[in-house]
Amino acid sequence: MSLAQFIRTNDPRAAEIRRPFVIAEAGVNHEGSMELAKRLIEEAAEGGADAIKFQSYKADKIAARHSPSYWDLSKEPTTSQHALFQKYDKFWKEEFEALKIHCDGVGIEFLSTPFDVESATFLNDLMEVYKISSSDLTNHPFIEFMCDFGKPVLLSTGAANLDEVFAAVQRIEAKGNPLCLLHCILNYPTPDALANLGMILDLRQRFPGRTLGYSDHTLPGDMSVLETAVLLGAPVLEKHFTHDKSLPGNDHYHAMDKDDLRAFQRRMDVLFSRLGSFQKRALPEEDISRRNARRSLVLRRDVAAGEILRSDDLTWKRPAFGISPQFLGEVVGRKARVALAADAILYWNQLE
């Protein structure tokens, strides 16, 4: 199922916990190498990601020359956004077209976040969903421009207050675009204690009926942060992805790799095997318990044929072969057809 289908088929009446759609956020961890970008695509597919997402920008279009950093400078020492973006802004239309073809070849969905009108325009031919980054949540003209392509939208909500989220959602939905809201903490890297996954519940309450997700910037660890997000009702997951977590700088230091992805998918296998059905019903494996562990109405004393049963003549004991205690009110006042012994299980054919 594509991401667009995943968002469009969301049913607010259905279970809020779904097997997640996983987006490996490669960003610019290709560092300008097509060979490395293709390797990231292949490893994301091997790890079990449903989509891989890049970022499409030019430094001169996204940041002023003296734009200060907002990341951990001990991990990425570049202090200027413009300087950092300029290192990795070599890919453009032709490169992303080639990467889309490579994604199709290995069976993973291609996505890229546009950061300007030009990239948003050429990406329209390459993908079915637009991603709006947290940094553009208040960029209403750009949001409306992307919405005019008529495709589902992923909206990250990092560093946003509720009024800002409402304003962005209003503009997107006024255009008629299906929407997925991603909880996000815009902090690189995000300590687990600051993940604030409880905000997913607030988004679910404030924006009922929408698909929810989580864009993660915590260190991968055992991937339990993502598992918790799924259990809270965020079935679209986005996490930075790399081929080598030991590489310095950029987004490598808080990214997952293919082994982390595989481990997460194994956790999902176990989780969803435990979750089982989302519709309450008795299982065939419980039939013996229904019969033997439930109770029947039982006589406290010997009862003669034709005698009217009173409530103090009856109690309830296991097994559930006879009349259920739920019908006590219908039994009291009836006559016994035959003589009945104390401790006998009571059946309907014994009553008039």
**Sequence-ordered alpha helix ranges (H) in the chain:** 3-8, 34-47, 59-62, 81-87, 93-106, 117-123, 140-147, 162-174, 199-206, 224-231, 258-275, 287-292, 328-331
CATH topology of domain 284-350: Type Iii Antifreeze Protein Isoform Hplc 12 (3.90.1210)
Residue 10 confidence (pLDDT) above 90: no
Residue 103 and residue 38 in contact, taking contact as beta carbons nearer than 8 Å: no
Whether 113 and 251 have beta carbons less than 8 Å apart is answered as no
- How far, in Å, CA of 134 to CA of 217, rounded? 12
Query: Mean pLDDT throughout 131-140?
Result: 98
CATH number (3.10.310.30, 3.20.20.70, 3.30.450.20, 3.30.70.260) of 3-275 reads 3.20.20.70
Cα distance between residue 19 and residue 263, in whole Å: 15
What mean pLDDT is predicted for residues 315-327? 98
Residue with tokens 């300029």: 86
- At 246-305, the pLDDT tens digits run 998 788 989 999 999 999 999 999 999 999 998 999 999 999 999 999 999 999 999 999
> Which pLDDT value is given to residue 248?
84
Give me Rg for the CA atoms of the chain. Answer: 30
pLDDT for 64 beyond 90: no
Q: Please, are residues 216 and 188 in contact by the beta-carbon 8 Å criterion?
A: no
The predicted model scores a pTM of 0.90
User: What local confidence, expressed as pLDDT, does residue 76 receive?
Assistant: 84
Q: How far apart are CA 196 and CA 49, in angstroms?
A: 24
Confidence of residue 15 (pLDDT cuts 50, 70, 90): low
Residue 12 has pLDDT above 80, yes or no: no
230 pLDDT exceeds 90? Answer: yes
Q: What is the mean pLDDT of residues 46-75?
A: 91
Residue 16 pLDDT > 80: no
Decide whether 3-275 matches 284-350 in CATH topology: no
Domain range list for the chain: 3-275, 284-350
Strand partners, 23: 51, 238
